[in-house]
Amino acid sequence: MKIGFIGLGIMGKPMAKNLIKAGYELVVADLVQSAVDELVALGAESAENGKEVASKCNVIITMLPNSPHVKTVALGEGGIIEGAKPGSVLIDMSSIAPLASREICGELSQKGIDMLDAPVSGGEPKAIDGTLSVMVGGKKEVFDKYYDVMKTMAASVVYVGDIGAGNTAKLCNQVVVALNIAAVSEAFMLAKKAGVDPELVYQAIRGGLAGSTVMDAKVPMMLDRNFNPGFKIDLHIKDLNNVIETSHGVGAPLPLTAQVMEIMQAIKLDGCGIEDHSSIVKYYEKISNAILERE
């Protein structure tokens, strides 16, 4: 099967590489030529834009930053809609607003093009290992047809409902991750200020009820003062914007999320937008006048 892949960033590049490893033929596109060249060196074909990708493949995956990028690549000039044949499918694995997924799907369906919204969780390490979690919205029969393609990049692929439901699940995921990083930052700064070695506190509590995937991924980064992304603060702010807009639309107040959003806004002003979201700890460092690092 020939698969189109558009968006070869931190996540898209390793995901595309895993599809090649699994034996799929790939046609790739990105604005960054070096990312395209890397995939071409592994056997992929390159294309100029969504239109050209779609004219060469019936299955097109997108892994782009946000709703406007997916709208442009899918529906804009030189977009997928101009090149795709009826019966093709767009599997959008970007994290975007559920409403945008529904709008894009509506436009594509008028040309007989199917769509799944299939955002992922797990970050770069799991994208590299092919062990992402994928949450999928769309028609169940389309999900069943392309399950194996998505499973090539993932440990779990779960159907959650109609188009937009995948991104709704992803927004829930991003709320839990944001609040969890803030909780971990708050707790470990307490340990530091109380004069107890944060590394030992981590070892003591990680196996109990407080332990989490977030704690295991982010506390070692914080203690190493390694804030290389990973998942950038700017992208998490993008997700929380989508969360808050969606929550207001459905009447689900999110007081804690709003507070963590303001923490992210504050550290962005300090130049942390392009850092990993574990840099939330820097907000606590500022208000506590201490640095969280290994003793």
Output 35 or 254, the one with its CB closest to ligand NAD. Answer: 35
Q: Select the residue interacting with ligand NAD from 18, 67, 88, 95 (CB under 6 A).
A: 95
Residue 286 gets which letter from DSSP? H
Tokens of 78: 């030189």
List 14, 83, 98, 123, residue binding ligand NAD (CB under 6 A)? 123
Task: Name which of 158 and 291 has its Cβ closer to ligand NAD.
Answer: 158
Rounded to the nearest whole angstrom, what is the least distance from the CB of residue 85 to ligand NAD in the complex?
A: 21
State the catalytic residue, choosing from 51, 126, 170, 232: 170
Q: Supply the minimum distance, in Å, between the C-beta of residue 71 and ligand NAD.
A: 10
As given in the structure block, the two tokens for residue 248 are 């207001």
Residue 115 has phi, psi (to 5 degrees) of: -150, 140
Stretch that binds ligand NAD, among 214-222, 227-235, 241-249, 253-261 (CB under 6 A): 227-235
126 catalytic residue (yes or no): no
User: CB of residue 104 vs ligand NAD: minimum separation in angstroms?
Assistant: 14
Asked whether position 72 contacts ligand NAD by CB under 6 A, the answer is yes
39 forms part of the interface with ligand NAD (CB under 6 A): no
Torsions phi, psi for 173 (to 5 deg): -55, -45
8 A C-beta contact, residue 82 and residue 51: yes
Which has the closest alpha carbon to 150: 120, 128, 173, 113?
A: 120
Q: Which stretch binds ligand NAD (CB under 6 A): 61-69, 102-110, 146-154, 250-258?
A: 61-69
Within a 10 A sphere around the Cβ of 54, how many other Cβ atoms? 27
Q: Which stretch binds ligand NAD (CB under 6 A): 16-24, 115-123, 145-153, 287-295?
A: 115-123
Alpha-carbon distance of 264 to 268, in angstroms, equals 6
Residues 115 and 215: their CA atoms lie apart, in Å, by 34
SS3 of 72-129: the string is HHHHCCCCHHHHCCCCCEEEECCCCCHHHHHHHHHHHHCCCCEEEECCEECHHHHHHH
Does residue 12 bind ligand NAD (CB under 6 A)? yes
> Up-side HSE of residue 256: CA atoms within 13 Å toward CB?
11
8 binds ligand NAD (CB under 6 A): yes
**Least separation in angstroms between CB 290 and ligand NAD:** 28
Angle at Cα 15 formed by Cα 273 and Cα 45, nearest 5°?
Answer: 110
Cα–Cα dist 123/239, whole Å: 14
Query: In the structure encoding, which two tokens stand for residue 40, read together?
Result: 């071409």
Give how many residues touch ligand NAD by CB under 6 A.
Answer: 27
User: Segment 19-38, which members bind ligand NAD (CB under 6 A)?
Assistant: 29-32, 35
Residue 141 Cβ vs ligand NAD, minimum distance, rounded to whole Å: 26
Is 9 an interacting residue with respect to ligand NAD (CB under 6 A)?
Answer: yes
Of 10, 210, 221, 274, the one binding ligand NAD (CB under 6 A) is 10
Using the minimum distance from each CB to ligand NAD, give the nearer residue, 68 or 253: 68
Q: Which residues bind ligand NAD (CB under 6 A)?
A: 6-12, 29-32, 35, 63-65, 69, 72-73, 94-95, 120-121, 123-124, 230-231, 235
| Residues tagged active-site | 170
